[in-house]
């Protein structure tokens, strides 16, 4: 079973690329971020035509997450607990059934946090604290769990082409990295790092300043696995070539293969 994540930077602008990539990678479950549209205007039909069930949690203009699944949804829950006043559409969780039991998947769009001298950075840090608490509770279930999405966090200097450019950025500040580390230290496996120690593994290249042409990338889209999911990890990868397509997102898909089968 393949589980993937992709920040598409507008689902309405990325329809052709998304369908082309789905045909190529053949994922069973896909977590999408930055869909940037309300649920009633989410283009479900071309995805349903490919055999996907579609769960959406969007809002006007910004943010927005979704999950596509060839397996039927047993449960779908929007919103990360811990702040009723938070109205950003950044979190969607689904449960599907496999031959060996439930698989839980969450699509995560963690706040960017820039500029750091505004309330955006404290909002990011509080969101990371909420994700920590949610994860600690979910791990107690001892289920296969995949937390997949755009974390807006560069875990280490090995995950950025030019670290000096990012030292004062909300994605790379020591506090951001410490909170990301605290999250994984709960017992989550960073799937890409579980299969490769290589540098130069990036998932985002800015549209500006020739970042793609210079390979000035960062790795901020992650699939974090609970121990029962990590035990089933076969391989993982990043579909870098998608960044060179016409009309690309600034992010590319990342994916894992799990030794799990649909029920």
Partner DNA sequence: ATGGCCAATATGATTGGA
Q: List residues near DNA by CB under 7 A.
A: 7, 9-10, 12-13, 34, 36-37, 60-63, 111-112, 114-115, 120, 150, 152, 171, 204, 206-210, 213, 218, 220, 247, 250
Nearest to DNA of 165, 194 (CB atom): 165
Nearest to DNA of 28, 34 (CB atom): 34
Instruction: Please tell me the distance from the alpha carbon of residue 4 to that of residue 146, in angstroms, as a whole number.
Output: 10
Least distance (Å) between residue 221 CB and DNA: 9
Known active-site residue 52: no
Nearest to DNA of 99, 247 (CB atom): 247
Least distance (Å) between residue 256 CB and DNA: 21
- Helix pair 120-139, 174-185: axis angle to 10 deg: 10
Nearest to DNA of 212, 255 (CB atom): 212
Known active-site residue 109: yes
Before 115, cis peptide (omega within 30)? yes
Catalytic hit among 109, 121, 134, 202: 109
Who's near 189: CB < 8 A, 6+ residues apart?
224, 225, 227, 229, 230, 233
Catalytic hit among 28, 121, 134, 150: 150
Catalytic residue annotation: 109, 150
């Amino acid at each position: 079973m393949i589980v993937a994540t992709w920040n598409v930077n507008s689902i309405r602008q990325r329809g052709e690329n998304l369908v082309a990539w789905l045909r190529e990678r053949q994922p069973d479950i896909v977590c999408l971020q930055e869909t940037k549209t309300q649920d009633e205007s989410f283009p479900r039909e071309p995805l349903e035509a490919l055999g996907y069930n579609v769960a959406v949690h969007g809002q006007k203009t910004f943010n927005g997450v979704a999950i596509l699944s060839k397996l039927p949804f047993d449960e779908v829950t929007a919103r990360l607990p811990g702040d009723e006043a938070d109205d950003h559409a950044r979190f969607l969780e689904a449960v599907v059934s496999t031959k060996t039991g439930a698989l839980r998947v969450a699509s995560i769009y963690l706040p960017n946090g820039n500029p750091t001298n505004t309330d955006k950075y404290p909002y990011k840090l509080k969101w990371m604290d909420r994700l920590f608490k949610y994860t600690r509770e979910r791990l107690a279930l001892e289920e296969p769990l995949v937390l997949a999405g755009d974390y807006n966090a560069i875990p280490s200097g090995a995950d950025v082409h030019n670290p000096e450019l990012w030292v004062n950025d909300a994605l790379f500040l020591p506090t951001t990295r410490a909170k990301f580390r605290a999250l994984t230290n709960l017992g989550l496996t960073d799937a890409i790092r579980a299969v490769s120690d290589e540098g130069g593994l990036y998932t985002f290249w800015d549209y500006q300043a020739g970042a793609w042409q210079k390979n000035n990338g960062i790795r901020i889209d992650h699939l974090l696995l609970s121990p029962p999911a990590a035990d089933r990890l076969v391989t993982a990868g990043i579909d870098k070539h998608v960044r060179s397509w016409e009309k690309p997102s600034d992010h590319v898909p990342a994916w894992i293969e799990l030794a799990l089968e649909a029920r």
